[in-house]
Structure 1
Amino acid sequence: MRAVTNLVNVLAPAHEHEFEAARGLPEALPEGERQLWQGSPDVRLLARQALHLDLVIGYFVLLLGWRAVTGWADGQSAGQILMGLGGMLPLILLATGLLGSIAWLMARTTVYTVTNRRVVMRVGIVLSISFNLPFSQILSAGWRPRGRGGDIVLSLGGSDRIAYLHLWPHARPWHLRRTQPMLRALADAPAIAALLAQALSEAQADRQTLPQRAVPMDAGRPAARPLPQAA
């Protein structure tokens, strides 16, 4: 019965999240708060960037090539080589299909929401968790291009910590001690970055605090671009 329930939740997420006050939000927005944007990761970008599907496919291509070369060196005929390669294809298709399915499930069950006061991340395939990130706890924000899309990285202040495994893959890679949430694999990352910059700027003006600064990136890694500043 449990397996059937989980399958229904995956195919029809409304059953799992019917307790939400609104899609992606665990409770109704309070007075004065409004939703600015809501979306999910792009499936193809998520598969390539978080699950490294390109590298997996490249590995299998090399494996097929090696199998063909060794078969030719052993004196096998073209038919025998093709038969050997064909025997490997089902496992290759199974592996790449599983990665693609996981990426689809991640994208389908993930909802990012930006309001004029906070960022909300609803993540999790089997067990959904919602993270509320008020602007007052966001020390810095930056975005980095990734292929035809991009990621938005958030650096949090305060003593509260979010476990890396609870956030993955919606966390900046290799930052384990001080986890940095990340709106990952966004096809329209520049537009969302501009919108978030505007919201942060207005919130800063209300609090009369210093402007946000770009998230510093490690040496040797692609530098995150600062969120575009609102005019």
Structure 2
Amino acid sequence: MSHDDFKFEPVRGLPEALPEGEHILWQGSPSVLRLARDAMKLNWVIAYFVLLTVWRVGVSSTFVPMDQALAHGVPFVVIGALCCLLILGLATMQARSAVYTLTNKRVAMRIGAALTMTLNLPYTQIGNAGLDLKRSGHGTLAFELIGDVRFSYLMTWPHARPWVFAKTQPAFRSIAEAEKVADIFAAAAEARVSVPQVQQQAPSAVAAE
């Protein structure tokens, strides 16, 4: 029997139905392999264990036959493989539980493998956005917030711009067609921010004027 941990969501990736006048422009999730490589440094882990294995075999070959020296490198290969599988498992959980959403009014991020939460970022609270584009077309779109809006880096990782701790920047990590998504965001944010905001004054203030 199938089971959906998010079946209570009225709209995929959102905790409640969209209000009148709001509609989804784009939805997506991180690429598992790209998330493992970009956020969890899978390539660096592989390179570390390869160098460690080569070093161990090279040292052993100076005082034992080569077949025995190769056997000395096997434990490092096994440990490295287990570490890589652990990273891929973590990346899979994070990617499959994350849903990024762009609407005509806000950025929404449902994130968290163990503790799920949804971040709602109105375009009026986003001061800037930065795109880190890879040659594959994947990339990370990070949102620089204005005002007093703050999020914990640990709570949002890996869905945050790396190495920015002072004021965490939530991010769409390792998404496909990142440049296209950035264009959709830019157009929607510009349209939303350019809409005049009408504020209703209290009756007492109007009377005083």
Fold in common (TM above 0.5): yes
Partners of 1:78 and 1:140 lie apart in 2 by 57
TM-score, with structure 2 as normaliser: 0.89
User: Hey, what does 2:53 align to over in structure 1?
Assistant: 64
- SS in structure 2 of the partner of residue 139 of structure 1: strand
- SS in structure 1 of the partner of residue 127 of structure 2: strand
Partners of 1:110 and 1:71 lie apart in 2 by 46
Of the three residues 107, 120, 129, the one matched with 2:117 is 129
Partners of 1:44 and 1:199 lie apart in 2 by 29
User: Hey, what does 2:68 align to over in structure 1?
Assistant: 80
- SS in structure 2 of the partner of residue 96 of structure 1: helix
User: Hey, what does 2:165 align to over in structure 1?
Assistant: 176
Of the three residues 122, 125, 134, the one matched with 1:146 is 134
Deviation at 1:37, TM superposition (A): 0.4
- SS in structure 1 of the partner of residue 163 of structure 2: coil
Q: Return the letter of the residue paired with 2:98.
A: T
Of the three residues 166, 187, 203, the one matched with 2:155 is 166
Task: Calculate percent identity across the aligned residue pairs.
Answer: 42
Of the three residues 52, 56, 59, the one matched with 2:41 is 52
Deviation at 1:196, TM superposition (A): 0.8
In the alignment, structure 1 residue 189 sits paired with structure 2 residue 178: yes
Instruction: Mark the runs of 5 or more structure 2 residues left unpaired by the alignment.
Output: 198-209
Instruction: Mark the runs of 5 or more structure 1 residues left unpaired by the alignment.
Output: 1-7, 209-231
Structure number, greater radius of gyration: 2
Q: Return the letter of the residue paired with 2:113.
A: I
Count of residue pairs the alignment pairs up: 196
Alpha-carbon contact 2:49-2:77 (below 8 Å) kept: no
* RMSD across aligned positions (CA): 1.6
Q: Return the letter of the residue paired with 2:112.
A: G
- SS in structure 2 of the partner of residue 83 of structure 1: helix
> Runs (4+) of structure 1 moved beyond 6 Å?
none
- SS in structure 2 of the partner of residue 180 of structure 1: coil
User: Hey, what does 1:207 align to over in structure 2?
Assistant: 196
Q: Return the letter of the residue paired with 1:187.
A: A
Partners of 1:92 and 1:126 lie apart in 2 by 25
Alpha-carbon contact 2:50-2:77 (below 8 Å) kept: no
- SS in structure 2 of the partner of residue 94 of structure 1: helix
- Which stretch of structure 1 is more off in the superposition, 199-208 or 135-144? 199-208
TM-score, with structure 1 as normaliser: 0.81
Deviation at 1:134, TM superposition (A): 0.6
- SS in structure 1 of the partner of residue 195 of structure 2: helix
Partners of 1:18 and 1:140 lie apart in 2 by 33
Deviation at 1:171, TM superposition (A): 1.0
- Post-superposition Cα deviations, 1:147-184, rounded to whole Å, max 9, x if no partner, equal 42111111111212111111111111222121111111
In the alignment, structure 1 residue 31 sits paired with structure 2 residue 16: no
